[in-house]
Each structure stands twice: as C-alpha cells, then as structure tokens.
Amino acid sequence: MTEIQPTIFPLSTTFNIKVKNKTARVGVIGLGYVGLPVGLLFARNGLPTTGFDIDPAKVERLEKGETYIRHIPASVIAEQVGKGGFRATTDFALLKEMDAILICVPTPLDQHREPDLSFVRNTTEAIMPHLRRGQLVVLESTTYPGTTEEVVLPILEKSGLKCPILPYATDGSRVTAPQQPAGDFLLAFSPEREDPGNKQFQTHQIPKVVAGVNAPSALAAQALYGQVFERTFVVSSTRAAEMAKILENTYRCVNIALVNELKLLCLRMGIDIWEVIEAARTKPFGFTPFFPGPGLGGHCIPIDPFYLTWKAREYDFPTRFIELAGEINSAMPEHVVASLRGALNRRGQCLQDARILILGIAYKKDIDDLRESPSLRIIELLKQNGARVDYHDPYFPRLHRMRKYDFGMVAVEPTAEALASYDAVVIVTDHSSYDYADIVRNSRLVIDTRNATKEVEEHRERIVRC
Ligand SMILES: NC(=O)c1ccc[n+]([C@@H]2O[C@H](COP(=O)([O-])OP(=O)(O)OC[C@H]3O[C@@H](n4cnc5c(N)ncnc54)[C@H](O)[C@@H]3O)[C@@H](O)[C@H]2O)c1
C-alpha cells in the first residue's frame, strides 16, 4: 500500500480544494441537538451552510434568528442568518446545490426496543433524487455497525450513481490505499459527540472520528471536518467508526449500571456510595468516576447499546453486559419509588393519595431535553400507585404530549408555601438553579436521587438519599 497522492483520487481532491477555499456548501439534515450546533459551526467557519428539516416551525424560527434549544443562543443564529452564512429550509430540492450533506436525524428504538431507522431511511430517500457526482454524504446519527454500508449506500445507489466499498488503511491521520476505481459520489460516517450543557468542551474541541466507505470518501470527510474541528481521527471503515460510537455509549451505560448496583448494596450496608466514589477517584490512574442516579435518560445512553444488541443477534451473539446494564438501570425508577414509599411508611403515611412534588424533568441537570428521562417513568409509577403528583422544572413550564406519555401537567413553582404543602419532594434532576438548603428547609420529606443536598446542613433528618 502506498500513501495516497492527491491526484490518485480526483473526486476527493476536487472536494478538498472546495473545502480549503471555503466554497464547499454544507447541508445539514435534522436541525436538533446535534444538527443545529454542527451547522452553525460550519457557518461560523465560513462554509456556506444550509439546514434542512421537515419541521417547518423550526425552520421558521431559525430564519427569524430565533433559537429553540436553550444552550444555543439566538444571537449566534441571528448573526449567521444575518450574514447569509446559515439558512434553514424545508425544501429538499436545494440538496443538489450542496457539496456535503450531513445526516443528523434521530435513531430511536421502536415499541419492541428494536432500532427504528425510519428517520435515516426517509432522509436518505429524500437525498437520493438530488444526489450528484462529487457530493459527499455523511451519516452522523448514532447507529449499529453496518448502517452506512448496508442501509444508506444501497438507497443512494438507486440514483444510478455508484460509490464502491473498498479497503484502505490509516494510522488515525494518514490514509493509505492502493489505486482504486473512481466512484461517482463520496460516502462517510462520522459520529457526533455533542454533550448538551457541557460548558467544558465546545463542539469544535471534541475530536471527530471519521471513516469512509473507500479512501476518497475518508479523505473528503477528513478534509471537511478538519476545517472546523481541532482534531480528526480517521478509522479504516465506517463499521469501525459506528462501533466506536456505540462503544463510548455502552461504556457509560455499563459503568453507570455498576455504580447503581453498588449504590443499592451500599444503602443496605449503611455505606455512603458518594463518599466511596470520591475516595476511589483520588486514584490517579485506572479509575474513572461514574455516578449513580434515578435511571438513565437522553437520546443516547439508554438507546444506543440496544442498537448493537439487535445487530449482534445476526451473529448469534448475546451482548450480556448490555442486557444486564439495561436491566439494572431501567429498574432505578422503581427503586426511587420504593424508597419514597418506605420513607412515607416510616412516617405512618402511605403512597396512595400522598401529595408528591417531583423536582426536575430534564434527563440531566441544566438542559432542556426530557427524552427518556427517568422523571417520566417515576411520575407514571407514582400515578399508578395512586399518588397525587406535581412537578417543577425551570425548563419545562408544561409537559406536552410525548410518544409514550401524555400527563397534561403544568409546572408548580416550588415556593416555600408550595413545598410545605407536599408530603414529599423528590429531587430527580439536580438543576443548578435550585436552592437545595431552601428546599430542605421548607419540605417535610426530601428524597434525593442525585446527592444534590450534600452541602445542606440543616434538617438533614428530612433527607432520604436513594
Ligand atoms: N442529543 C445528543 O446529545 C446526541 C449526542 C450524540 C449523538 N446523538 C445522535 O444524533 C442523532 C440526532 O439526535 P438529536 O438529539 O439531534 O435529535 P433531535 O430530535 O434533537 O433532532 C432531530 C431533528 O431531525 C428532524 N428530522 C426528523 N426526520 C427528518 C427527516 N426525514 N428529514 C429532515 N429532518 C428530519 C427533526 O425534526 C429534528 O429537528 C441521533 O442519532 C442521536 O443518537 C445525539
């Protein structure tokens, strides 16, 4: 194998020149938590960017320079829209004007907990009639290994244009390959590592893993992302890149399950799991802290590992770690409810008819995303047990209808008077805006699933950590 000379792959060479000149037009499909920041990143770096979404309300708001994601300021959108660097549209015919098309649509599980690739399929079908020679298509949605080659590629090739799957080698930065027959378009996979609400890392600072179905596709993706990300890391196949993303999320899922299980043991043994983790994390090597909680939430950690489980069945391979972690994590809301029931019983009360206030609906602190949030399952369980439930979350003044839940609830302000009127307050999400000392001072009983009250000194007898 020889190191690639730029001239060997005219398709990627032409593409790379456009990227370097900042004349490459970038299209981002799916303007959600992942697509919108990525689109704005390209726009801010001078690559003319168009965002595509099927939701006309989102497109309309973006075109007015407004935001619908709390941690993405309207000023950033307004600046790029004003300059003409970013525009949003529902008109997919404009895809043919794009040089690169990034797919950032949802990859949820269906009601049987199997991968629902309908968003990816529909988007790819929408690209196909507009696909043209020299375009780069990149799948960014998290999915099982094989999706780019087995699902996206065949749909795109229905256009009559070809993109052969061919081997290449890489050490992470250099791509090496034998001379390869030219394809018509370029196809890559590059997983998104967006961490909403994380103030430590901005999108461009998080290294971007990229891979192509062949060497020119890998080179084009490397050039594109290298223009806006501080670091890219090329792997030798889209399947390896897809697996890398699932590994990252499975690693979190399994380790969170481990500390959740140890928390249950520690509670029985009268040991403070939070103190244990603080002690263990002083080890300067070989230990990464994970924290227990009320259960997993978000679009990624509770879902992505099961994409792999589903694919592994094709290879007659049981993913036992994933299944066990899923079992432990998904039992945590039941544990929270059992702890609440026990605490009420010890006070001579029962859950039936008890008035309960849930604090925090978002799946993690300081963000406005409630997908898969354990709060929703906890509310469902409490209602099933006859409790009278209210909630508060600074980011959700009301609970709209969701795919699985329709509570029709409106947030209750946690004033001193309101807090005192509940039999128990359950802290499910530890938003920074809450005054935890105030919450404990004014509540009769506080169930703390996040160790949010650790600094509270007064009335600790009212706190039950679970
Ligand atoms: N949210 C995260 O923190 C995060 C992090 C890393 C990876 N991911 C992955 O990124 C992908 C996208 O997740 P997200 O959180 O941004 O989802 P999201 O729901 O916030 O956004 C998806 C957007 O796609 C749009 N959409 C749906 N179908 C479409 C179609 N056919 N054509 C055009 N637009 C369409 C929706 O209207 C929505 O605006 C998923 O695969 C997810 O697993 C998410």
The pLDDT tens digits for 204-256 are: 999 999 999 999 999 999 999 999 999 999 999 999 999 999 999 999 999 99
Which residue's CA is the closest to the ligand 1 atom numbered 43? Answer: 142
**Chain segment 356-412, per-residue pLDDT in tens:** 999 999 999 999 999 999 999 999 999 999 999 999 999 999 999 998 899 999 999
Find out whether the beta carbon of 234 lies less than 6 Å from any atom of ligand 1.
Answer: no
| Pocket mutation for ligand 1, best pick of 116, 299, 304, 306 (most atoms within 8 Å of C-beta) | 299
Task: Look at the block and give the residue holding tokens 């209808």.
Answer: 401
- pLDDT value at position 8? 64
- Tell me, rounded to whole angstroms, the distance of Cα 208 from its chain centroid: 15
Q: What pLDDT does 403 receive?
A: 84
Of the candidates 123, 161, 163, the residue with the CA atom closest to the CA atom of residue 141: 123
Ligand 1 contact via 105 beta carbon (within 6 Å): yes
Q: What is the mean pLDDT of the chain?
A: 95
Closest CA to 86 of 22, 20, 137, 39: 39
Q: What is the pLDDT of residues 250-283, one digit of tens each?
A: 999 999 999 999 999 999 999 999 999 999 999 9
Find the 54 Cα to ligand 1 centroid distance in Å.
Answer: 11
Name the residue of 101, 105, 116 to mutate for ligand 1: max ligand atoms within 8 A of Cβ.
105
DSSP per residue over 239-302, as a string? Answer: HHHHHHHHHHHHHHHHHHHHHHHHHHHHHHHT--HHHHHHHHTTSSSS-------S---SSSTT
Distance CA 304, CA 107 (A): 8
Exposure string (b/e) for 442-452, b if CB count within 10 Å is 16 or more? bbbbbbbbbbb
Q: pTM for the complete prediction?
A: 0.94
Per cent of the chain over pLDDT 90 is: 91
DSSP classification of residue 206: S
**pLDDT tens digits, one per residue of 46-80:** 999 999 999 999 999 999 999 999 889 999 999 99
Given a cut of 70, whether residue 447 has pLDDT beyond it is: yes
User: How far apart are the C-alpha atoms of 52 and 59, rounded to whole Å?
Assistant: 8
**Partners of 101 in the beta sheet?**
27, 137
Strand pairing category for 186-189 and 136-139: parallel
Closest protein CA for atom 13 of ligand 1: 106
Q: Which helix H or strand E contains 45, and what residues bound it?
A: none
9 pLDDT exceeds 90?
A: no
First to last CA, the chain: 57
The total number of residues shown for the chain amounts to: 466
**Is residue 92 within 8 Å of 122, Cβ to Cβ?**
no
Which atom number of ligand 1 is nearest to the Cα of residue 69? 20
Nearest to 132 by CA among 178, 174, 93, 176: 93
CA 346 to chain centre: 39
